[in-house]
Amino acid sequence: MTDKILSISRRTRATPFTRRVEAAGVKGYTVYNHMLLPTFFTNNEDDYWSLCQNVQVWDVSCERQIEVSGPDSERLIQLMTPRDISRAVIGQGLYAPLCDESGGLVNDPVLIKFANNDWWVSIADSDVRLWARGLAHGFGLDVKIREAAIWPLAVQGPRAEQLVTRVFGNEVPGIRFFRSKMLEFRGKAMMVMRSGYSKQGGFEIYLNDPDLAEPLWDELFEQGQDLNVRPGGPNLIERIESGLLSYGNDMNFTHNPFECGLDAFIDLDADIESMSLPALRAIRGKHVHQLMGLVFDEAVFFPDFAIIADDRVVGDVRSQVWSPRYQKYLAMAMMKRDFLSANETLTVDGKIGNIVDLPFDFDAIR
């Protein structure tokens, strides 16, 4: 598509970091949870190498925190997800699908047990607040549901630990994956979790005071100068190489967790009250689609994103990108399983590609 301007208004909400993001020369935004999300600062490929080699600071305020508190909060969270949350400890994050009563994916957030009877749903791009309030009303639950005044800032890349340690102190290296600590910046405690939407390692700082946004941003860039810190955002190349799913791109409410390969994040046999479990138990093994990887030696074009073989549509492309590291054209595609059972390759435009499991196994591909 040709370049267009994104018209920014109050609906495309800004963040406490937006002034700094603008000053840093942001070149592209997308809109996520009705909020601006910077996508690149130089270009996708240049940003990719800086993320993989050094460290980046990302304004991911758009990962909104839907806070569910009150006596029935854990019950509501468990109703919404087929992942067993009963053994979560305070400060832990759990990547978990949210599913409706027919098993359709509502969202794929990180669930955070912030305190007893206080859960944060760190959402992907769909209106979970509305869904949760509807359920709470329908089930007659004693909960409070609101979008919390929290703006996550991610620090990602191989040098992220060094940088976050300089700013938040020596407790940082002791934080395990998807665990967090409350650490101080300018006298204010905020949650710092080892997490983030890349596989390059890093942390997410859950800023809870908008007045500290610019001081925090500035401190990270000052302390990170010798580490080559750069502004960035979730990177299309890195996230596809890493097999990180993007709700709305790779899957939506018409897909179930089996089709997306999220089986590891649901507990089909758990004795829990979860509204999607009966449906999921019934469709297990019978689902129609499977999200797969496609690998071509050169770029290919899919008209209307359709994947055609034997004169029929056998799937559709959800995300695609050229990988500069592997010199391959990579795609994630929702494929019909009946086609997969008989085919391991695909011809598009006269070019033959391999159909592979996700996440991509680049040792096997080369």
Which of 16, 38, 103, 109: binder of ligand THG (CB under 6 A)? Answer: 109
Smallest gap from Cβ 359 to ligand THG, in A, equals 8
Residue 128 touching ligand THG (CB under 6 A): no
Smallest gap from Cβ 230 to ligand THG, in A, equals 19
Q: Which is nearer to ligand THG, 197 or 329 (CB)?
A: 197
What does each C-alpha distance from 298 to 40, 302, 319, 348 come to in angstroms? 24, 13, 16, 11
For ligand THG (CB under 6 A), the number of binding residues is 16
Q: Which is nearer to ligand THG, 162 or 249 (CB)?
A: 249
Q: Which is nearer to ligand THG, 274 or 346 (CB)?
A: 274
Q: Which is nearer to ligand THG, 82 or 109 (CB)?
A: 109
Q: Which is nearer to ligand THG, 39 or 346 (CB)?
A: 39
Which of 12, 42, 45, 95: binder of ligand THG (CB under 6 A)? Answer: 95
Smallest gap from Cβ 242 to ligand THG, in A, equals 8
Smallest gap from Cβ 59 to ligand THG, in A, equals 13
Interface with ligand THG in residues 325-364 (CB under 6 A): none
Q: Which is nearer to ligand THG, 91 or 196 (CB)?
A: 196
Interface with ligand THG in residues 216-275 (CB under 6 A): 244-245
Interface with ligand THG in residues 168-227 (CB under 6 A): 178, 195-197, 204
Stretch of residues binding ligand THG (CB under 6 A), selected from 23-31, 122-130, 162-170, 274-282: 122-130
Q: Which is nearer to ligand THG, 123 or 355 (CB)?
A: 123
Smallest gap from Cβ 195 to ligand THG, in A, equals 5
Mapped to the 3 state alphabet, what secondary structure does the chain carry?
CCCCCCCCCCCCECCCCHHHHHHCCCCEEEEECCEEEEEECCCHHHHHHHHHHCEEEEECCCCCEEEEECCCHHHHHHHHCCCCCCCCCCCCEEECCEECCCCCEEECCEEEEEECCEEEEECCCCCHHHHHHHHHHHHCCCCEEEECCCEEEEEECCCHHHHHHHHHCCCHHHCCECCEEEEEECCEEEEEEECCCCCCCEEEEEECCHHHHHHHHHHHHHHCHHHCEEEECCCHHHHHHCCCCCECCCECCCCCCCCCCCHHHCCCCCCCCCCCHHHHHHHCCCCCEEEEEEEECCCCCCHHHEEEECCEEEEEEEEEEEECCCCEEEEEEEEEHHHHCCCCEEEECCEEEEEECCCCCHHHHC
Residues near ligand THG (CB under 6 A): 63, 95, 108-110, 122-124, 152, 178, 195-197, 204, 244-245
